[in-house]
Amino acid sequence: MSLSRPSSFHFDPNNRRLRLDPHDRTFFQNPYPAYALLHEETQSFFWEDYGFWCFIGYDAVNKLLRDRRFGREKRYSAADSQRVAGDRSHLKHFDHIEKFSMLELEPPAHTRLRTLVNRAFVSRQVERLRPRIEALAHELIDRLEPEGEADLIGEFATPIPVTIIAEMLGVPTETTPQLLDWSHRIVAMYMHGRKRQSENSANAAAAEFASFLRDYAGRRRADPADDLLSLLLAAESDGSRLSEDELITTAILLLNAGHEATVHQTGNAVKSVLECGSDPARLFADAESTVKTVEECLRFDAPLHMFTRYAYEEIDLGGGVLLKPGNQIGLMLGAGNRDPSAFASPDAFMPGRDDQKNLSFGAGIHFCIGAPLARLELQVALKVLFERLPGLRFKKAPICRDTYHFRGLERLDVEW
Mean pLDDT computed over 127-135: 94
Of 303, 295, 299, the C-alpha closest to 262 is 303
pLDDT in tens, 33-67: 999 999 999 999 999 999 999 999 999 999 999 99
Of 34, 213, 153, 89, the C-alpha closest to 412 is 153
How many residues make up the chain in this entry?
Answer: 416
Task: Report whether pLDDT(25) > 80.
Answer: yes
Task: Report whether pLDDT(26) > 60.
Answer: yes
Give the DSSP letter of residue 153: I
Mean pLDDT computed over 257-284: 92
Instruction: For the chain, state the CA radius of gyration.
Output: 21
Task: Report whether pLDDT(193) > 90.
Answer: no
Kindly report the number of other CB atoms within 10 A of residue 270's CB atom: 26
Percent of the chain at pLDDT exceeding 70: 94
In the chain, what are the domain boundaries?
A: 10-415
pLDDT in tens, 92-120: 999 999 999 998 999 999 999 898 888 76
**Residue 81 — very low, low, confident or very high, per pLDDT cuts 50/70/90?**
very low
Which is it for the CA torsion 233, 234, 236, 240, positive or negative? positive
Q: What is the pLDDT of residue 212?
A: 95
Instruction: Determine whether domain 10-415 maps to CATH 1.10.630.10.
Output: yes
Average pLDDT along the chain:
92
CA dihedral (336, 160, 30, 370) in degrees, to 10, reads -20
Give the DSSP letter of residue 285: S
The answer to whether the beta carbons of residues 338 and 332 sit under 8 Å apart is no
Task: Report whether pLDDT(405) > 90.
Answer: no
C-alpha 323/C-alpha 2 separation (Å) is 35
pLDDT in tens, 333-389: 999 999 999 999 999 999 989 999 999 999 999 999 889 899 999 999 999 999 999
pLDDT in tens, 285-339: 999 999 999 999 999 999 999 999 999 999 999 999 999 999 999 999 999 999 9
C-alpha 411/C-alpha 413 separation (Å) is 6
Angstrom distances, CA of residue 197 to CA of 189, 200, 399, 403: 10, 5, 25, 16
Compute the 3-state secondary structure of the chain and give helix, strand, coil in percent, each to the nearest 5: 50, 10, 35
φ/ψ (deg, to 5) at 52: -150, 165
Percent of the chain at pLDDT exceeding 90: 76
Q: pTM value?
A: 0.92
C-alpha 362/C-alpha 266 separation (Å) is 18
φ/ψ (deg, to 5) at 367: -55, 135
Q: What is the pLDDT of residue 256?
A: 84
Task: Report whether pLDDT(161) > 70.
Answer: yes
**Residue 231 — very low, low, confident or very high, per pLDDT cuts 50/70/90?**
confident
Weakest-pLDDT range from 5-14, 125-134, 177-186, 250-259: 250-259
Task: Report whether pLDDT(278) > 80.
Answer: yes
**Residue 238 — very low, low, confident or very high, per pLDDT cuts 50/70/90?**
low
45: Cβ–Cβ under 8 A, 6 or more apart, which residues?
11, 16, 17, 18, 38, 53, 54, 56
Kindly report the number of other CB atoms within 10 A of residue 99's CB atom: 12
